[in-house]
Amino acid sequence: MSTALKLNVEPLDLIITGVGGQGNVLASQVLGRALLKAGYNVTVGETFGLSQRGGAVMSMVRVTRDKTMGPLIPENRATAVVSLEPLEALRVLGAYGNSEVMVLTNDRPLMPVNVIAGASNYPDLSELKAALENLSARLYWLPATKVALELGNPILANVVMLGALVGCGLLPVGLAEIESALAEMFNEAKMPANRQALARGLELMA
Amino acid sequence: MADLTKLIPGQIALLQGNEAIARGALEAGVAFCAAYPGNPSSEILETLAESADSAGIYAEWSVNEKVALESAAAASFTGLRAMASMKQNGVNVAQDFICNLTISGSGPGGLVLITCDDPSSISSTNEQDARFIARLADLPLLEPSTPAEALAMVKFAFELSEEIRNLVVLRSVSRLSHTRAGLVPGKLPGERPKPYWDPKTSYFTMPVVPMHQKMHQKLARAGQIMAQTGFNRYEGPELPELLIIASGSSALYASEAIALLKADQKAGVLKLGCTWPLPAEMLLEHLAKTEQVLFAEEVDPFLESEIKAFYAQNVTQLGIKRFFGKASGSLASTGENSPGKLAAAIAGILGIDWRALDKDYADKATALVTALVPPREFGFCPGCPHRASYWAIKQTLAVDGRQGLVSGDIGCYSLGVLPTGFRRVNSVHCMGSGLGISSGLGQLGRFGFNQPVVSVVGDSTFYHAALPAMVNARWNQADYVLCVLDNSATAMTGFQPHPGTGQTASGQGGCKVDVESMCQALGLSYRIVDPYDLTATQEALYDALQEGGGLRVLIFRRVCALVQGRQGGHPYRMQIDQEACRGQECGCNRFCSRVFRCPGLVFDEASGVAAVDEVTCVGCGVCAQICPAGAIVAQPKEEVAA
């Protein structure tokens, strides 16, 4: 299956975003490994530091056949945005969106502490969804955390979203390549849950 | 992190910039590596420590950056290759040693200093440009752009250091240190020299003036060697309308900006990897071929200022030029560069009509983001002992009523200046400075200053820089309460061990140096409290505040919530007693969510009462102590299971 996949956009500029602790750096690293193994030139820029302290965290995955890219996608030039939290998808579109961008987002909000404290408001989910539709060529609004909880652990939402990304047709690699990259990073005991999460993510796109 | 000796030479691998630096050191045959953790540099030593056994090297987390570099220099004096790595702030800590080492020179073993700077201050208290140390101390400076180049430059840095017998500096930035890219590792070396220091040899700065002269000569020699490397190169038209002189990540952004603008016939990039001393010959050649120059670098105008001075020296030969950069306002004087920022600057200089995006989309996006997207404040993790500690400090200082002050320090608990720490911290500067500030405040009683003073310091910072200030306070009898927030980890930077944990970088047992033994040695009494127990903590702090007279120490001891999460988790399942919580009707004004601000404890607008977010809450049980109505219930997890 994967032999038929190819890189149709170059550079393929993906943003993986979310909140610290959701595993976005791990997801970008898995993607990077899979793409490198398939022979592509890949640059993964990670932004973290205060990442585990509840802030927004973003990784950029840039894919070409040969050319070496810098760690930052040019402003408003993302090909696709994968978001582990819906508000963060909209935040990223302000800086990196464009009328052609594809957006895949987990539909489960994580409330900022300032929202919990009543100092700011989290937008109504239908309004948030409409804004994402308005600012993207195509929106996939996905219950990744719900699926992850069904599989027993909310942290699997990042892998569910990777499965969905495989299903969106932009990647020049398939489920098998992502799975083998995951297997390089997790011990075998954790792989059944990861495999299921990938497969369930792909199903969400069917 | 991983054991980098397992990489197969010649086979491409995805490596982070910091891992590439570590692999470069291993390929260069480094024997001794030391560091103090700090983002974005920490992964270098972490990776080397993971590789230490199989590579047969020594890797150490030192107590601070100065000791790290001094230890590495010692290895160099015995003929071993050695490296110290740190973030930009660490270079300040090591600076006194550096400014003397550069006069004495390094030993027969190559000695390399890695500084990882943090433009835009992604995880730092400043965005200082540590390249100043190369100019200040006459040291050769390398600035890689990609992980592959970082690996190659580290190997070269060791050779250069041995050639000129001085320290060589390699400067990374966050965007390089934390970028992963494919690179092809080379071979690891075989035998290392046996360390030996001929007792007839001394490393010393005197006589200073002739030695200072020799230091200048070493730098000049370094410039000649660096000119042969190929790390400086030009890409672009023969006679560019605009020459962009760029280093580090900015060199990549500049090339991409030119591509975005389709300006490759007009602009060229002189990418400098060897930036100090300036590559004089190459600069003369390229400055002669253009009339306009743009500097692209992060953060300070280091190349910009130095190249302009160099130009002034050669102006009769070069003629009139126009210079653009930070001084001209073409690029911002603070923060990181990006492809878009460089495209805007280049378009402005060349008169190209360019905007990143069509206006309709830009307007729509700005309007929606402004209307709908709230900020996402940093906050302590759910279950973080610091939230509980600051709660106790806040409540106690309020009860005390004398407008108490808190001087803070560097670590996760620096966030005490934010709402997550109830804005209870009044000053934060550098490692250990909280105790110095308190030492000063603690002497002001003689002038009528009557506000009580509390200093907070984390356990790792305590050993790094707080000890001299603590001795000072004890000696001069400064009047304050020191709270050591001991979470048994260097949590901010990734849980590295420190003297109080008794573990070393390679995971083997070291000699444990605990906070109590330091207090005992200084003749200080201390009390240990568990910050999760709010009442006991508040009582202990209140008593300490009332005591007065000299330094009093409280040790707030509770393991980091993330470490606890890995060690079996917290004991409770938190629930809201729906009957007891009266929500908006209660006079508390949503005390739990509005003031306590734990991400796991939310307010459910629909039902009008507090709620526990089960995905986020870890079950530390602290919030059960703060509800005036007793509506937050901590139920032991075993009972829930039963």
Q: Is the four-CA dihedral B589, B595, B597, B598 of positive or negative sign?
A: negative
* Lookup: tokens for B194: 């046996």
Among A40, A53, A108, A173, most B C-beta atoms within 10 A, so best to mutate, is A53
Specify the DSSP element, H or E, that contains B198. none
Whether residue B522 contacts residue B472, with contact meaning beta carbons closer than 8 Å, is answered with no
**B234-350: CATH number:** 3.40.50.920
Q: Where in chain B is the domain with CATH 3.40.50.970?
A: 4-194+202-226, 385-566
Percent of chain B whose pLDDT exceeds 90:
87
Closest residue in chain B to residue A181, using alpha carbons only: B14
Among B14, B122, B336, B358, most A C-beta atoms within 10 A, so best to mutate, is B14
**B531-to-B133, B434, B541, B574 alpha-carbon distances in Å:** 41, 20, 11, 18
Closest CB from B255, B372, B613 relative to A131: B372
Q: Where in chain B is the domain with CATH 3.30.70.20?
A: 572-641
Which is nearest to B454 in space by CA: B318, B545, B372, B391?
B545
Whether residue A62 contacts residue B424, with contact meaning beta carbons closer than 8 Å, is answered with no
Q: Where in chain B is the domain with CATH 3.40.50.920?
A: 234-350
What pLDDT, on a 0 to 100 scale, did the predictor assign at position B616? Answer: 86
Q: What is the mean pLDDT of chain B?
A: 95
ipTM higher than the 0.85 cut: yes
Tens of pLDDT, residues B441-485: 999 999 999 999 999 999 999 999 999 999 999 999 999 999 999
Q: HSE-up of A117 (CA within 13 Å, CB side)?
A: 17
Sort out which chain B residues have CB atoms less than 8 A from A43's CB and list them.
179-181
What pLDDT, on a 0 to 100 scale, did the predictor assign at position A50? Answer: 58
* Lookup: tokens for B582: 């009266």
Among B180, B255, B380, most A C-beta atoms within 10 A, so best to mutate, is B180
Tens of pLDDT, residues A23-32: 888 999 999 9
Q: Is residue A117 part of a domain?
A: no
pLDDT grade for A204, boundaries at 50, 70 and 90: very high
* Count of beta carbons in the 10 Å neighbourhood of residue B11: 8
Query: Per the structure, how many domains does chain A have?
Result: 1
What pLDDT, on a 0 to 100 scale, did the predictor assign at position A49? Answer: 55
pLDDT grade for A1, boundaries at 50, 70 and 90: very low
What pLDDT, on a 0 to 100 scale, did the predictor assign at position B1? Answer: 53
Whether residue B127 contacts residue B119, with contact meaning beta carbons closer than 8 Å, is answered with yes
**Lowest-pLDDT range of A3-12, A45-54, B184-193, B604-613:** A45-54
Closest residue in chain B to residue A90, using alpha carbons only: B369
- CA–CA dist B338, B245 (Å, integer): 15
Q: Is residue A99 part of a domain?
A: yes
For residue B389, pLDDT over 50 is answered with yes
Q: Is residue A116 part of a domain?
A: no
* Lookup: tokens for A191: 């792989």
Residue type, B349: I
Residue B491, min C-alpha distance to chain A (Å): 10
Q: Is residue A195 part of a domain?
A: yes
Partner-chain contact A70 B595, CB within 8 Å: no
pLDDT grade for A52, boundaries at 50, 70 and 90: low
What pLDDT, on a 0 to 100 scale, did the predictor assign at position B90? Answer: 97
Partner-chain contact B374 A115, CB within 8 Å: yes
What pLDDT, on a 0 to 100 scale, did the predictor assign at position B607? Answer: 87
For residue B258, pLDDT over 90 is answered with yes
The CATH number of the domain holding residue A192 is: 3.40.920.10
Whether residue B134 contacts residue B167, with contact meaning beta carbons closer than 8 Å, is answered with no
Q: Is residue A71 part of a domain?
A: yes
What pLDDT, on a 0 to 100 scale, did the predictor assign at position B509? Answer: 84
What pLDDT, on a 0 to 100 scale, did the predictor assign at position B71? Answer: 98
Tens of pLDDT, residues A63-84: 999 999 999 999 999 999 999 9
Q: Is residue A136 part of a domain?
A: yes
Q: HSE-up of B617 (CA within 13 Å, CB side)?
A: 24
Contacts of B559 (CB under 8 A, 6+ apart): B385, B487, B488, B489, B567
Closest CB from A29, A55, A74 relative to B256: A74
What pLDDT, on a 0 to 100 scale, did the predictor assign at position B358? Answer: 80
Partner-chain contact B178 A46, CB within 8 Å: yes
- CA–CA dist B601, B611 (Å, integer): 6
**Lowest-pLDDT range of B14-18, B89-93, B422-426, B490-494:** B490-494
Tens of pLDDT, residues B547-589: 988 999 999 999 999 889 988 999 999 999 988 999 888 888 8
Partner-chain contact B599 A116, CB within 8 Å: yes
Q: In the predicted model, what is the mean pLDDT of residues B498-512?
A: 87
DSSP assigned state of B8:
P
* Count of beta carbons in the 10 Å neighbourhood of residue B200: 5
Q: What does DSSP say about strands B480-486 and A102-106: parallel, antiparallel, or unpaired? A: unpaired
Partner-chain contact A114 B375, CB within 8 Å: yes
Q: Is residue A121 part of a domain?
A: no
Q: In the predicted model, what is the mean pLDDT of residues B408-418?
A: 93
DSSP per-residue string spanning B608-631:
TEEEE-TTT-----GGGGT-TT--
Closest CB from B373, B378, B590 relative to A87: B373
Residue A113 CB burial class (10 angstroms; 0-12, 13-18, ≥19): buried
What pLDDT, on a 0 to 100 scale, did the predictor assign at position A48? Answer: 65
Which residues form the domain of A67?
Answer: 2-111+126-204
CATH class name, domain B4-194+202-226: alpha beta
Q: Is residue A6 part of a domain?
A: yes
Closest CB from A44, A54, A76 relative to B356: A76
* Lookup: tokens for B559: 């393991």
Q: Report the CATH architecture of B572-641.
A: 2-Layer Sandwich (3.30)
Please tell me the pTM assigned to this model: 0.96
Residue B350 CB burial class (10 angstroms; 0-12, 13-18, ≥19): middle
Tens of pLDDT, residues B586-642: 888 888 999 999 999 998 888 889 999 888 899 999 999 999 999 999 999 888 776
Quick one: fold of B385-566?
Rossmann fold (3.40.50)
Closest residue in chain A to residue B596, using alpha carbons only: A117
Contacts of B198 (CB under 8 A, 6+ apart): none
What pLDDT, on a 0 to 100 scale, did the predictor assign at position A4? Answer: 59
Tens of pLDDT, residues B194-248: 999 999 999 999 999 999 999 999 999 999 999 999 999 999 999 999 999 999 9
| Main-chain phi, psi angles of B277, to 5 degrees | -70, 160
pLDDT grade for B122, boundaries at 50, 70 and 90: confident
Closest CB from A71, A88, A122 relative to B175: A71
For residue A2, pLDDT over 50 is answered with no
